[in-house]
Amino acid sequence: MTFTQQLRDAAQQNQSMLCVGLDPDTRRLPGAWQGKPEHIYDFCAAIVDASADLVCAFKPQIAYFAADGAEAQLERLIAYIRQRAPQVPVILDAKRGDIGSTATQYAREAFDRYGADAVTLSPFMGFDSIEPYLAYADKGVFLLCRTSNRGGNDLQAQRLASVMGQPLLYEHVATLAQNAWNPDPAVRQVGLVVGATYPNEIARVRQLAPDAPLLIPGVGAQGGDAVATVQAGWNGVGSVVVNSSRAVLYASAGADFAQAARSVAEATRQQLQQAIPTEQGEAETP
């Protein structure tokens, strides 16, 4: 099964566009676990247990594990997700961006070592920085396109005078992802990261890449509007994956943290589903 198929199946089974980001900040772990990196796995596994039936994907952020020397806990966590929720794909948020043999090693890290189903990448070194990942035909990649941070304007909103039509850089990335950088149209491996804080740009990316999966961070703690996000990205064809991390993970600092996380995830999932444009029909798959 390809990543895109797995993503669609999980979205259908759980009736969800919600992706829970696993960004374990040891300073915010609950109770006696606070400040103790050895409990990163315990915390994240509890979040997985609480939300596995509510999500279409989990997205561990590798830096939160690596900074505390917890890479082995990340391996264990992804293996646990495989056991606990085998239908739910794992997107490794690594934002790698290199070429040649280094990119090949990063691909091995994501897919062979950690066993992720997809990985986030920076595309700004060109196609040869992406190609090694595409050698894994059943895996997916999400390219940074129009990110939610304000500084994204420094590059992503710049116009390319050398390209026909003079598109903005993020528009050019979306066009490449839809066409030249996705070598087999029958196997949609290349998706795009578009921030929820820019719904107009989400709509533009969806126009340029109608069947590409969109990974949309920024809902929740970053202030992105869930309804506007779905209405901008939804077309009934390409998957919409809306990520929420801190709002779910840190819904409570007490012993009820997992129950509180479930409550927030359930409410967010419902809000996203209710935002699907009615003209698309309720039977459509996210």
pLDDT tens by residue, 7-28: 999 999 999 999 999 999 999 9
Residue entry with tokens 């069947």 = 211
CA-CA distance, 147 to 245, in Å (whole number)?
A: 16
At residue 141, the 3 state secondary structure works out as: strand
Band of residue 284 on the pLDDT scale cut at 50, 70, 90: very low
- CATH code at position 149: 3.20.20.70
CA-CA distance, 135 to 131, in Å (whole number)?
A: 7
Angle 244-246-251 from CA coordinates, rounded to 5°: 105
Whether residue 253 is contained in a domain is answered as yes
At residue 282, does pLDDT exceed 70? no
Q: Give the residue numbers spanning the domain of 41.
A: 3-275
Whether residue 285 is contained in a domain is answered as no
Can you give the pLDDT at residue 274?
94
At residue 262, does pLDDT exceed 50? yes
Whether residue 284 is contained in a domain is answered as no
CA-CA distance, 68 to 63, in Å (whole number)?
A: 9
Whether residue 281 is contained in a domain is answered as no
Q: Which residues contact residue 63 at a Cβ distance below 8 angstroms, ignoring those fewer than 6 apart?
A: none
**DSSP character at residue 168:** B
Cβ neighbours of 145 (radius 10 Å): 29
Whether residue 125 is contained in a domain is answered as yes
Can you give the pLDDT at residue 183?
84
pLDDT tens by residue, 169-190: 999 999 999 999 998 888 899 9
CA-CA distance, 97 to 120, in Å (whole number)?
A: 9
pLDDT tens by residue, 138-179: 999 999 999 988 898 889 989 998 888 999 999 999 999 999
Can you give the pLDDT at residue 187?
87
Centroid of chain to Cα 57: 8
Band of residue 283 on the pLDDT scale cut at 50, 70, 90: very low
Q: pLDDT higher for 227 or 48?
A: 48
Can you give the pLDDT at residue 212?
96
Can you give the pLDDT at residue 27?
97
What is the average per-residue pLDDT within 260-269? 97
At residue 280, does pLDDT exceed 80? no
pLDDT tens by residue, 24-70: 999 999 999 999 999 999 999 999 999 999 999 999 999 999 999 99
CA-CA distance, 54 to 20, in Å (whole number)?
A: 9
At residue 222, does pLDDT exceed 80? no
Angle 203-61-12 from CA coordinates, rounded to 5°: 55
Listed in sequence order, the DSSP H helices in the chain are 3-14, 40-51, 62-66, 71-84, 100-107, 131-134, 153-156, 169-178, 199-208, 226-233, 246-249, 257-274
Q: Which residues contact residue 41 at a Cβ distance below 8 angstroms, ignoring those fewer than 6 apart?
A: 70, 73, 76, 77, 80
Q: Domain count of the chain? A: 1
Q: Please state whether beta strands 190-194 and 140-146 pair in parallel, antiparallel, or not at all (unpaired).
A: parallel
Whether residue 221 is contained in a domain is answered as yes
Can you give the pLDDT at residue 6?
97
At residue 124, does pLDDT exceed 50? yes
Whether residue 123 is contained in a domain is answered as yes
Can you give the pLDDT at residue 281?
42
At residue 219, does pLDDT exceed 90? no
- On average, the pLDDT of the chain sits at 93
Catalytic residues: 95
Q: pLDDT higher for 130 or 1?
A: 130
Can you give the pLDDT at residue 286?
38
